[in-house]
Structure 1
Amino acid sequence: EITAFFLLAVAPSSSTLAQKDNVLQPEGDETQTEGDTVTLDCLYNSSSTNDYLFWYKQDGNNRPRFILSRFTLDEGNTADEFKERFSSRLNSTFRSVPLKIQKLHVSDSAVYYCALQPTVTGNKRI
């Protein structure tokens, strides 16, 4: 069976952030076969030296669900339901935080959001 991944970039919504603080994801659909591995790219620009990046999954009309977070100075964390097959490593040199999904399931079909703090929930940068 074929599984489609729909990619959508989410930029910070706060107008107080510098213009260069954003995330960049390729547009369009990513199609893979069930059981395969896929890597969803996310590049970011940030004026901070301590970057906070997040991945979320949204399927159907449900609200986005937290997958994982990665920080420049910390490993971050991964939600229990995603620990087995979802992983990411933040590369501050290349300013990337790709999401790797292994052993794809049809249920992995969703919109995947990469977010830079402040996130889609409106958190403020401290």
Structure 2
Amino acid sequence: MILYVALCLTECRAQTDSVQQPGGDVTAAEGDSVTLGCHFNSSLSNYYLFWYKQEGNTLLQRLDPRCSHEVKDEDKLINLQISSAAVSDSAVYYCAVSE
């Protein structure tokens, strides 16, 4: 089993800019496809959405090519999709919004 922890990171420029992720752990078996969700609000007309990963006490890392982002502007949702999960994917994941 693999343990995923989803938390949030916000880079706010205005009070209405925020991200919110469901709390709690997500578990999956090796080889499973995993989707982590993140709702966002932004008062900016141009904004960027990012996902980061942190393993242990290491620095945040941008995600590798096996991970893809699906942005649904109408729902204000950015999903992180991890295909073929591996033990090395066990980490804390953060989404962020920035201008």
TM-score per shorter chain, which class?
Answer: over 0.9
1:92 Cα deviation from its structure 2 partner: 1.2
1:97 aligns with 2:78: yes
Q: Percent identity?
A: 44
1:89 Cα deviation from its structure 2 partner: 1.9
1:7 aligns with 2:6: yes
Structure 2 letter corresponding to 1:44: F
Corresponding pairs, count: 99
1:61 aligns with 2:57: yes
1:110 aligns with 2:68: no
Q: C-alpha separation between the residues in 1 aligned to 2:56 and 2:71?
A: 28
Q: Secondary structure at the match of 1:35?
A: coil
Q: C-alpha separation between the residues in 2 aligned to 1:61 and 1:29?
A: 18
**Structure 1 runs not aligned, ≥5 long:** 68-81, 118-124
Q: Secondary structure at the match of 1:87?
A: strand
Q: C-alpha separation between the residues in 2 aligned to 1:91 and 1:110?
A: 24
Root-mean-square deviation (Å): 1.1
Which TM-score applies when normalising by structure 2?
Answer: 0.93
**Higher strand fraction: Structure 1 or Structure 2?**
2
Structure 1 letter corresponding to 2:40: Y
Structure with max Cα Rg: 1
Q: After TM superposition, where is structure 1 displaced by more than 2 Å over at least 4 residues in a row?
A: none
1:22 Cα deviation from its structure 2 partner: 0.4
**Structure 2 runs not aligned, ≥5 long:** none
Matches within 5 A, 1:17-56: 17-56=13-52
Q: C-alpha separation between the residues in 2 aligned to 1:7 and 1:20?
A: 22
